[in-house]
Amino acid sequence: MSQFVDDNTIYGNYTLQSAKQYDQFWLHQSTINSLLYDLTLPLSGAGFETEIFALISEVKAYYGDDTTCSGVVTFPKEKNSEPVTLSAAGLTAGDVSQGGLVLNLGLYCAANATAEKELSVTLETGLHLVANVIWDNFEFSASLNDPQIMNTKVTTDLFKLDYHNWDLELTYVLKDITDDINLRFSEGVDLKQNTVVRFVSGILRNTLISTAIADEFIFAGFKMITDRK
């Protein structure tokens, strides 16, 4: 994978935060980018189909009213590239000036639930998104900002597609998703309301997962109940 992601020569420095996480793990952004190129994200379900049928009405026009669809997202390898970066702002996926994080969305459809699905449409597009996710003492919060889709093109189409402003239409879909997540998690969720989690939090104390400790790293740390004061 080194021909696609440069070798990491930066190391995290053991440091005691104010919460004193004696046990620390540092994950560099190069590891995330390496894993990204092996990642395949399946998409399915009623919600996915609703979005797809609204976005690409030609699907039902071709297959009929009983059409079923699923999707697969893959990330084509980019030479010497780190499209995911980590900083105090969070995890940034895709540099806008470089066309974003390139991904392929393959849409597999069939005339009904029993028919075998076939590759109907493939979209190659660029993604930009800033995700600020924090885990602090078993309290979880997440905010997804600046969602953008860019440079979208159709690379496979089994049937004729009408004109689409793909970047605008897909950005609207992405913004709907991020708005829903922000409404649910931006204010934070205290997992310690669960009795078992509250018990575990007494053993693994001062847990922290954040990108704000050092640029290019996700920091994860905690203090065991048996660690020194």
pLDDT tens sequence across 94-109: 999 989 999 999 999 9
Number of alpha helices (DSSP H) and beta strands (DSSP E) in the chain = 5, 11
**Banded pLDDT at 9 (limits 50, 70, 90):** low
Average pLDDT score over residue span 64-91:
89
Mean pLDDT, the chain, as a whole number? 89
* pLDDT on residue 80: 55
**Banded pLDDT at 1 (limits 50, 70, 90):** very low
Whether residue 2 has pLDDT greater than 50:
no
Average pLDDT score over residue span 104-115:
96
Q: What percent of the chain is modeled with pLDDT above 90?
A: 67
The percent helix, strand, coil of the chain (3-state, each to 5) is 25, 40, 35
Q: Looking at 4-13, 72-81, 116-125, 195-204, which range is the least confident one?
A: 4-13
**Banded pLDDT at 37 (limits 50, 70, 90):** confident
Give the span between the Cα atoms of 217 and 88, in whole angstroms.
10
Average pLDDT score over residue span 215-229:
85
Element (H or E) spanning 210, and its range? strand 204-210
**What residue type is 74 in one-letter code?**
T
Question: 47 burial class (0-12, 13-18, 19+ CB within 10 angstroms)?
Answer: exposed
* pLDDT on residue 225: 84
CB 31 within 8 A of CB 4: no
Average pLDDT score over residue span 53-78:
93
Q: What pTM was computed for the model?
A: 0.84
